[in-house]
Amino acid sequence: MKKIMLLGSGELGKELVIALKRLGQYVIAVDSYNDAPAQQVADEREVINMLDGAALDNIVAKHQPNIIVPEIEAIRTERFYDYEQQGITVVPSAKAANFTMNRKAIRDLAAKELGLKTAQYEYANSLEELIAATGKVGIPCVVKPLMSSSGKGQSVIKTTADIEKAWQYAQSGKRGDQTEVIVEAFVQFNSEITLLTVTQKNGPTLFCPPIGHRQERGDYQESWQPAAIASNQLATAQQMAAKVTAALTGAGIWGVEFFLADDGVYFSELSPRPHDTGMVTLAGTQNFSEFELHARAILGLPIPTITLERVGASAVILADKDGTAPEYIGLEKAMAYAQSDIRIFGKPVTRPYRRMAVALAYDALGSDVQEVKQKAIAIAKEVTVQ
Q: With H, G, I as helix, E, B as strand and everything else as coil, classify residue 324.
A: strand
Could you give the C-alpha distances from 172 to 6, 145, 221, 247, in angstroms and in order?
26, 9, 22, 32
Does 277 qualify as catalytic in the annotation? yes
Look at residues 297, 296, 260, 255 and name the one whose alpha carbon lies nearest to residue 278: 255
The per-residue DSSP string of 101-167 comes to TSHHHHHHIIIIIS------EEEESSHHHHHHHHHHH-SSEEEEESS--TTTT-EEE-SGGGHHHHH
Name the active-site residue from 89, 118, 149, 350: 149
Task: Report whether 127 contacts 182 (CB < 8 A).
Answer: no
d(CA 296, CA 279): 17
d(CA 292, CA 311): 18
Q: What are phi and psi of 68, to 5 degrees?
A: -115, 130
Name the active-site residue from 32, 43, 53, 151: 151
Does 269 qualify as catalytic in the annotation? yes
Name beta bridge partners: 216: 219
Does 93 qualify as catalytic in the annotation? no
Does 155 qualify as catalytic in the annotation? no
Name the active-site residue from 257, 292, 363, 382: 257
How crowded is the C-beta side of 209, counted as CA atoms within 13 Å? 22
Name the active-site residue from 73, 122, 276, 363: 276
Q: Give Cα 307 distance to the centre of its chain.
A: 21
Task: Report whether 217 contacts 261 (CB < 8 A).
Answer: no
d(CA 202, CA 369): 34
Name beta bridge partners: 122: 183
Q: Give Cα 337 distance to the centre of its chain.
A: 28
Strand 89-90 relative to strand 67-70: parallel, antiparallel, unpaired? Answer: parallel
Does 53 qualify as catalytic in the annotation? no
Name beta bridge partners: 328: 385
Name the active-site residue from 89, 199, 277, 340: 277
Does 276 qualify as catalytic in the annotation? yes
Name the active-site residue from 71, 153, 355, 382: 355
DSSP class of residue 228 equals: P
d(CA 317, CA 351): 12
Does 149 qualify as catalytic in the annotation? yes
DSSP class of residue 262 equals: T
Give the distance between the most distant pair of CA atoms in the chain.
57
Name the active-site residue from 269, 309, 310, 384: 269
Q: What is the dihedral of CA 207, 255, 258, 369, to 10 degrees?
A: 70
Active site positions, annotated:
149, 151, 257, 269, 276-277, 355
